Every structure is written in structure tokens, then in C-alpha cells.
Chains A and B, each alone.
Chain A
């Protein structure tokens, strides 16, 4: 099947530049038979223009230098890249990943086999995989991580892209839920894997990690959005039970000061969310059953 260059979208920072040049780009070359187009945008002003003169073989690299305002959130960066893409789908990948051989081919193959209402197909992360449930026959999963996923561009545009108000974390859960609630599906493709060294084993208890802060704040916000103020109250109760009291206080202050306009979704959508089999909230930042 003839296909134009597959767009790969990546939001990066200054600490990722060498890794992208020396490791990610070579790995992408072995992950896909045909040429791919890597589109980049920096979330930090410091690394804008880092790929201006970077022209590897067998791979087209484009860096978007706008907008002027930074730091960019993850969702804002992805929305910018998606707005400049004309393909039927695009693949998003984190800047600290390494693609396994044939992983892009396998993700695209899963897309070729899927139906037109497939919204997102997530690839596997290695070695620390999300222990998320997925149906072994349909490969449906409640939500898809934004570290490595193929996204249906048409659905993405229909839903208005990712919600930029989160800034970091939970945009992927939010997008996945909106896909489900509007009739699209979210799938998992275990055969398409990337190396992604991130997460808990490396966090320090003497520093406040981005994931810790935004993960806590945005948990409350996403429950407000999809379950109303009752959902928000439940979110606050959940984080109060588990998280550091100072962290909770800081998050609540942030929400009170900056998220007055972050309103719940329509009552109709909230009701759908409460009864949808794929929209799950099983605890603090637990949106899935654990896969055995």
C-alpha cells in the first residue's frame, strides 16, 4: 500500500537533544521500512532551533520554531504538531524513548487491521510496562499512554485535540476517555514496543517530581471534568488519604487560583462517563484494572 511519510510527533526539551540525535533517530530508522518524518517542537525556549541543521539519512526531521511563548505543555506541543500534519494518522513518541526494531511497522500494521472508529493504538513500553488491562481478543484498553501511540488524526481534530489546561500528565487519559465517550475505541498493541526508562524507580523523595505534582493536581481536575464537583470531592478525598499534606495543600491552592474556568463537562457527558464500561476510576491515578 502506498503511503506518504509517516509523521512522528515529539515534544522535547534541552536535555533530550543528544538522545534524539544519537539514539532515537537511529532506532526509528530500524523500526520502519519506509521513510518517516520526525516532527519536533521544543517545550523550552532554551532548546529551540536545536535541530535546525540536523539532516540524518532516511529520515526527514522538521522542528517547529513557533510559538514564541514557552514553556509549552505536552498537550499544547502535540496540538501544534497535529495542526501541521495532513495525514490520516500520526504517531506520538516521548523524546527519551528508543524504538525497537519493527515497532513502528507493527503499530501501523495494527492500524491497517483496525476499524475506522479506532481512535488511539498504544504501543508497549519496556521494561516498565503499564500493567494495564486489555482485552486479549479485541485489544481494547481503558486508556492509552501518550509515551508511544498512534492517533487517528480525524478523530483527534473532531475532539479538538488534547486538553492544554492540564499542562503535563492526564492529557492522555482525558483524550482516551473522550474517544470512548464519542464512539471511538482505544486499543493496545503489545507487539509494538519502545524502550522507555521513566517512572517511579528513579524518583527521589527529596525532590518534587513533575509527575508527583501534576499527577496529583490533574487527578482532581480530571474527576471534576468528567464527574462534576462530586467527582472532584472524591478526588480530593483520594489524594488527601495518600499524598503528602503539603503537596495536597499546594495543589488545592493552585486549583483555586488558576482553574476557576475549568468547568465540568455537560451533564449528558458526565452521565455517560459514569456508566461507560471503559471509564474507570479505581483509586488515586488508577484508571484501569491491573493486568495479571
Chain B
């Protein structure tokens, strides 16, 4: 396996070898190439290797790179056999982490550090600073980049080509590095607005815009579309050859109202019909009430009756205990709890199913939910003329971190727990917390097994907020007038959160410090060009002032500027000054 390095000059070649002595004997330099598109084509077709690494000349690799890659290749063969390209940064197929964004960084650069750990994540496109190419698969699929000049968009086009030909695009931590570059937004935007690229996109993608590492790219407006949906196709490719997971949809019921339970069950069945090719889905109802007389429902789904002797709830309520009992009784790869009366929207079943299939085994998925105020007439029957329904607040999946403030942010139905996460949650805490079991599960999943939070900001669940009727007990539940049980639950939760150190410390999340790489990232992708120019100018000026006002650092800094000029000319000098401004 060779490392193919695109270099700008002989000095850059020398600097690369000095910076990466452990791998210098494997390196092939592609010097002064005016087209990285042609360079990639040469790597794929002019060399016999099945695997190749491509990198920029300003990348610094760790000493363990080769052994990491060997470990990665072994893992890929088992878990992701249809991989085409792997990078160390890119636009993921799902949001994750504290801010729920889809940008994944397994690198450090002037914009910040890594923002994820340990997981291979499917992507829509990768950032081309480092790419591992499955040359054999790319050759077999006859993937070839167009003969365009320049150093922009080759990574985007290669990613799209791979997806269009049935290969997965991934990022992996095994390719982590430091990249001594902030990219060139002007050059990117100029390339992205070219006619050739627009024509290519018009024939390739169905989207009118999509996110890349360097910003949002607009595609021509074609209807009917000629190409594929980038996001869903990337998910589909990544999920091929993966094991078909089992999702258990478990409906908590008090067996008070057949209509509401059947309504929930029918929407779960609709979800199953949409996702049946992606997931094995089991639907079960769990209750601590007797199930006699509920034959019709039993005929549809598995019925789990929790015997009274199983209830050891100190809180005197069974909402949380039902959850832990269901996890102990149902063996599935993922668990999704829905309450009777609420419903599942099947519209995003494919996306949710595919995301589950490619997610790490210690994941917790957050979904958008929406409250609906329902006013029933005499009977609980959506069909009655007196019935009214009105959409209300939407609870966003990306707001999951509000749980750290002790708030019940994401409802239980807005979370899908992996098997590992569900079984790591101590039964004891669910016995003590009668309400706020949603926040408890969320926090416990982080504290007990450092669950990987996946954010799918699509509407998946409707939550029924019903005007009280005689047939719906109001002596308990979060709408109960007597808040004793709710307040005691909050006390138990606070005690659980603070009683002992954990894998993912609480202070890390609530201190207000952004996750690594998150804050600078927001500037980069959401700021306008003018804002970025001003930020860079400010940093350059403060860097120049810092240079002049610190004579003791002149020698080191002038040497750095000289090296930077050798690598990238005036641009390198400007970049160096900005770095001084950040120190």
C-alpha cells in the first residue's frame, strides 16, 4: 500500500518527509499537479495496488498510521465490505453529538479539533485532505473523475461517483491527522459555481442543494430529477451488506381505551410496513393491567403482561418499571417505547431504519416529536363530529442536551435505545424514578456506557395531549395535579446524576464549554463570506501585532513564517499570522 501525496513544490516534499518520517519510504509524490482529478485517476488506474492512501502535503500523521490502517482494513472486511472511500472528515449521513450537526472531524486543523471518537461513520461526502481509496472496487465499478483542473471538488465528485455506483463512503478515526490548512473558501466557491460542475450535478443528484465540507453547494433545478438523493443514497450504500437489525416497538398501555391502543398499534404497523426490508420489527404491548378481554389487540401484536409481583417500584408507579421489564423480556437490537394514544409517523421509516442499521452498537437515537392537543367529545373516538385536533409544540431532537439541566426534554418516544445501552441502565434507578424516565434513560445511557448520541431531526412521533375525561385517569401522569410523585422523581434523578463519577462526566456537558471543534465550526458553515473575511482580517491583524510586540518569539515565529512561505507563498504567510493571532 502506498501513500500518494499531492505536493506543490520540492520544499513541500522535503517538509512532508521530515514531518512524517515513519512512512516516507511508502510515499509517492504527485508534484505540481494542476489537477487533483487527474491525480486521483492516476492513483486508481496507473498503480496495481488494491488500496491506496491519498493525502495533501501539509498533513501530519501519527506514528501509528500504518498499524491503524491495517486494523481498519480487517474491520472493514467484516463490517463494511462495500466501502469505496474512507476519509477522516466529512458530512455524515446523520447528526450526532451535542449540537446534532452532521459534520464529523477526525482531525485537527486551524478550525479546531476532533468532534467524535472511535466510530466509523457513513458520510455523504468526505474531505479530501486524507482519503483511503478502495482502488480495486473503484476500478471494478469503472469510477473515473472528469478531467477538470484545480484542487477543489475532487473529493465531492469522487464521493458522489462512489455512491452512484453502489459503494459506501465513510470516515474512520484510524486516519486521524493534523492538517496545517484552513482550506480556501473563495477557490471552492468559484469552482462550485462553474458551469461544468453545475451540469455534472444536474445529471447526478436529485437535490437542489447539499452540504459539503467547504459549504453548501447549489445544484441546478431539475424536475423531474435526473439523479439520486445524496443523503438517503449514502445511507443505503452504507447499510448494504450490514446485518438486518431487530427493532422492538414497545407500547406502554394501561388498557383503558381500546381505540387509542389500536390507533397506536396501527401506526406502528405502518412504520413496520415501510421499513420491513431494512429492519426486522417486532411490535409488543406491555401493561401491568390484566389483558383478558383484549383479544383483538392480542391477535395483532405480542402482549407482554407484567405480573404484579415483578413490580418493585418504590415510587408506587409502574411507568419506569415497565420499561426495564420490557427490556428484560424482549431481545432486540433496538428498543423504541411509545405510549398508548401516541402514534408513530411512518414517513421517515426508511431513514430511521437505515440509520439504525449503520449506527454504532452503543448508540441512542433522538427523534423529533410533536405534541397534538386532542379534544374528544363524549367518547374517545377520533371519528366523532365533536372531535378536534391541533398541532402544538415540536420537540427537537437536537435539544436533547437540555436533559443536563434536569429538564425532561426529549420524551421517551423520541428515543431509540440500542441493546447495549438499554441493558447498561441500572434497574435500580428505574425502580426509584416513577416519572422523568425519559431524562433518566438519556442520562444513564451517557453515564453508564458513554452512548453515542445520534440526532435525526425528522418528525417521527405524535404525542397526544388529551383534554381530561372520566375514562382517562388524572390521578397520575405528568399532568397530575398532585406533583408529589413528579417532584420525588426529580429528586431521585438529581441524586443519580451527582452521586458518583461516570464515564462521561456531567461537568463536561453542563459547563458551557463547546464540544471540541463545535464552536469554530458553526462560524465556518453558517457565516457569510463577508463575515469570514472580517474574522480572518481581525486574526491577521492581531497576529501581526502579537509578532511585533513579542521580541522573544521573533526567531521562532519568523522561522515559521519562512517555512509557511516556502509551502504556500503569501497565503501561507497570512495563515501563519492568523495562527499567531489565535495563540
- State the A residues within 8 Å of B (CB): 15, 18-19, 21-23, 27, 98, 100-103, 106, 124, 126-129, 190-193, 195, 197-198, 201-202, 205-208, 213, 244, 246-247, 250
- Tally A-B pairs: CB < 8 A: 90
Interchain Cβ contacts under 8 Å between A and B, 23 examples: A18-B274, A19-B273, A21-B273, A23-B270, A101-B259, A102-B383, A103-B383, A124-B383, A126-B382, A126-B389, A128-B391, A191-B384, A195-B263, A195-B267, A201-B459, A202-B345, A206-B210, A207-B229, A208-B206, A208-B221, A208-B222, A208-B223, A213-B223
From B206, B210, B269, give the contact of A22 (CB < 8 A).
B269
With contacts A197-B345, A246-B221 known, is A190 near B387, CB below 8 A?
Answer: yes
Q: How far is the CA of A208 from the CA of B202 in the complex (A)?
A: 13
Find out whether the CB atom of A191 lies under 8 angstroms from the CB atom of B385: yes
B389 / chain A contacts, CB cutoff of 8 Å: 126-127, 129
From A23, A101, A106, A197, give the contact of B269 (CB < 8 A).
A23
Q: Which 10 pairs, one residue from A and one from B, show the smallest C-beta to C-beta distance?
A: A246-B221, A18-B273, A19-B273, A202-B347, A22-B273, A206-B207, A193-B383, A191-B385, A23-B270, A213-B223
Q: How far is the CA of A18 from the CA of B384 in the complex (A)?
A: 29
Asked if B276 is at the interface of the complex by the 8 Å CB criterion, the answer is yes
Asked if B225 is at the interface of the complex by the 8 Å CB criterion, the answer is yes
Q: Mark contacts of B237-275 with chain A using CB atoms, 8 A cut-off: 1 yes-contact digit, 0 otherwise.
A: 000000000000000000000010011001101101110
With both chains docked as a complex, state the minimum distance between the C-beta of A7 and any C-beta of chain B, in angstroms: 21
Asked if B399 is at the interface of the complex by the 8 Å CB criterion, the answer is no
A128 / chain B contacts, CB cutoff of 8 Å: 391
From B209, B267, B370, B384, give the contact of A201 (CB < 8 A).
B370
Q: Mark contacts of B215-237 with chain A using CB atoms, 8 A cut-off: 1 yes-contact digit, 0 otherwise.
A: 00000011101000101000000
With both chains docked as a complex, state the minimum distance between the C-beta of B270 and any C-beta of chain A, in angstroms: 5
With contacts A18-B273, A206-B209 known, is A101 near B267, CB below 8 A?
Answer: no
Find out whether the CB atom of B273 lies under 8 angstroms from the CB atom of A247: no
Asked if B346 is at the interface of the complex by the 8 Å CB criterion, the answer is yes
From B221, B384, B459, give the contact of A250 (CB < 8 A).
B221
Q: How far is the CA of A201 from the CA of B459 in the complex (A)?
A: 7
Find out whether the CB atom of A100 lies under 8 angstroms from the CB atom of B267: no
With both chains docked as a complex, state the minimum distance between the C-beta of B130 and any C-beta of chain A, in angstroms: 27
With both chains docked as a complex, state the minimum distance between the C-beta of A17 and any C-beta of chain B, in angstroms: 9
Residue of B206, B225, B270, B276 with most chain A CB atoms under a 10 A cut-off: B270
Find out whether the CB atom of A127 lies under 8 angstroms from the CB atom of B270: no
Find out whether the CB atom of A22 lies under 8 angstroms from the CB atom of B272: yes
Tell me the nearest residue of chain A to B207, going by C-beta: A206
From A101, A124, A247, give the contact of B221 (CB < 8 A).
A247
A197 / chain B contacts, CB cutoff of 8 Å: 270, 345-347
B276 / chain A contacts, CB cutoff of 8 Å: 18, 22
Find out whether the CB atom of A127 lies under 8 angstroms from the CB atom of B462: yes
Residue of B206, B273, B370 with most chain A CB atoms under a 10 A cut-off: B273
With both chains docked as a complex, state the minimum distance between the C-beta of A191 and any C-beta of chain B, in angstroms: 5
B209 / chain A contacts, CB cutoff of 8 Å: 205-206
With both chains docked as a complex, state the minimum distance between the C-beta of A20 and any C-beta of chain B, in angstroms: 8
With contacts A195-B267, A207-B206 known, is A250 near B383, CB below 8 A?
Answer: no
With contacts A19-B270, A98-B266 known, is A127 near B391, CB below 8 A?
Answer: yes
Tell me the nearest residue of chain B to A31, going by C-beta: B383
B370 / chain A contacts, CB cutoff of 8 Å: 201
A244 / chain B contacts, CB cutoff of 8 Å: 221
From A129, A191, A208, give the contact of B208 (CB < 8 A).
A208
Q: Mark contacts of B343-360 with chain A using CB atoms, 8 A cut-off: 1 yes-contact digit, 0 otherwise.
A: 101111000000000000
B266 / chain A contacts, CB cutoff of 8 Å: 23, 27, 98, 195
Find out whether the CB atom of B223 lies under 8 angstroms from the CB atom of A202: no
Overall SS of chain B's interface: mixed
Find out whether the CB atom of B347 lies under 8 angstroms from the CB atom of A206: no
Given A22-B276, A98-B267, A197-B345, 5 new contacts (CB under 8 A): A195-B270, A202-B348, A202-B459, A207-B207, A207-B208
Q: How far is the CA of A195 from the CA of B370 in the complex (A)?
A: 16
Q: How far is the CA of A98 from the CA of B343 in the complex (A)?
A: 13
Tell me the nearest residue of chain A to B464, going by C-beta: A127
The contact size tier of chain B is 35 or more
Q: How far is the CA of A278 from the CA of B208 in the complex (A)?
A: 38
Tell me the nearest residue of chain B to A129, going by C-beta: B389
Q: How far is the CA of A181 from the CA of B259 in the complex (A)?
A: 40
Find out whether the CB atom of B273 lies under 8 angstroms from the CB atom of A208: no
Residue of A23, A124, A191, A247 with most chain B CB atoms under a 10 A cut-off: A23
Q: How far is the CA of A126 from the CA of B274 in the complex (A)?
A: 19
Q: How far is the CA of A19 from the CA of B267 in the complex (A)?
A: 11
Tell me the nearest residue of chain A to B219, going by C-beta: A206
Asked if B372 is at the interface of the complex by the 8 Å CB criterion, the answer is yes
Q: Mark contacts of B195-210 with chain A using CB atoms, 8 A cut-off: 1 yes-contact digit, 0 otherwise.
A: 0000000000011111
A205 / chain B contacts, CB cutoff of 8 Å: 209
With both chains docked as a complex, state the minimum distance between the C-beta of B56 and any C-beta of chain A, in angstroms: 29
A18 / chain B contacts, CB cutoff of 8 Å: 273-274, 276
Q: How far is the CA of A18 from the CA of B459 in the complex (A)?
A: 22
B210 / chain A contacts, CB cutoff of 8 Å: 206
With both chains docked as a complex, state the minimum distance between the C-beta of B365 and any C-beta of chain A, in angstroms: 18
From A23, A100, A127, give the contact of B273 (CB < 8 A).
A23
B274 / chain A contacts, CB cutoff of 8 Å: 15, 18-19
With both chains docked as a complex, state the minimum distance between the C-beta of B452 and any C-beta of chain A, in angstroms: 25
Q: Mark contacts of B450-464 with chain A using CB atoms, 8 A cut-off: 1 yes-contact digit, 0 otherwise.
A: 000000001100100
Find out whether the CB atom of B383 lies under 8 angstroms from the CB atom of A106: yes
B267 / chain A contacts, CB cutoff of 8 Å: 98, 195
Q: How far is the CA of A106 from the CA of B382 in the complex (A)?
A: 13
B462 / chain A contacts, CB cutoff of 8 Å: 127
Tell me the nearest residue of chain B to A212, going by C-beta: B223
From B222, B348, B383, give the contact of A100 (CB < 8 A).
B383
Q: How far is the CA of A106 from the CA of B372 in the complex (A)?
A: 24
Q: How far is the CA of A190 from the CA of B208 in the complex (A)?
A: 39
Q: How far is the CA of A202 from the CA of B462 in the complex (A)?
A: 13
Tell me the nearest residue of chain B to A105, going by C-beta: B383
Tell me the nearest residue of chain A to B345, going by C-beta: A197
Find out whether the CB atom of B208 lies under 8 angstroms from the CB atom of A250: no
Tell me the nearest residue of chain A to B296, going by C-beta: A30
Q: How far is the CA of A207 from the CA of B206 in the complex (A)?
A: 7
Q: Mark contacts of B319-359 with chain A using CB atoms, 8 A cut-off: 1 yes-contact digit, 0 otherwise.
A: 00000000000000000000000010111100000000000
User: B359-389: which have CB < 8 Å to A?
Assistant: 370, 372, 382-385, 387, 389
Tell me the nearest residue of chain B to A103, going by C-beta: B383
With both chains docked as a complex, state the minimum distance between the C-beta of B373 and any C-beta of chain A, in angstroms: 11
Tell me the nearest residue of chain B to A15, going by C-beta: B274
B346 / chain A contacts, CB cutoff of 8 Å: 19, 197
B458 / chain A contacts, CB cutoff of 8 Å: 202
Find out whether the CB atom of B383 lies under 8 angstroms from the CB atom of A101: yes
Q: How far is the CA of A260 from the CA of B343 in the complex (A)?
A: 46
B272 / chain A contacts, CB cutoff of 8 Å: 22
With both chains docked as a complex, state the minimum distance between the C-beta of A153 and any C-beta of chain B, in angstroms: 25
A100 / chain B contacts, CB cutoff of 8 Å: 263, 382-383
Q: How far is the CA of A128 from the CA of B372 in the complex (A)?
A: 10
With both chains docked as a complex, state the minimum distance between the C-beta of B349 and any C-beta of chain A, in angstroms: 10
B225 / chain A contacts, CB cutoff of 8 Å: 207-208
Find out whether the CB atom of B383 lies under 8 angstroms from the CB atom of A191: yes
User: B17-44: which have CB < 8 Å to A?
Assistant: none
Tell me the nearest residue of chain A to B386, going by C-beta: A190
User: B162-220: which have CB < 8 Å to A?
Assistant: 206-210
Tell me the nearest residue of chain B to A97, going by C-beta: B270
Q: Mark contacts of B381-408 with chain A using CB atoms, 8 A cut-off: 1 yes-contact digit, 0 otherwise.
A: 0111101010100000000000000000
Q: How far is the CA of A235 from the CA of B389 in the complex (A)?
A: 32
A198 / chain B contacts, CB cutoff of 8 Å: 347
A193 / chain B contacts, CB cutoff of 8 Å: 382-383, 387
B269 / chain A contacts, CB cutoff of 8 Å: 22-23
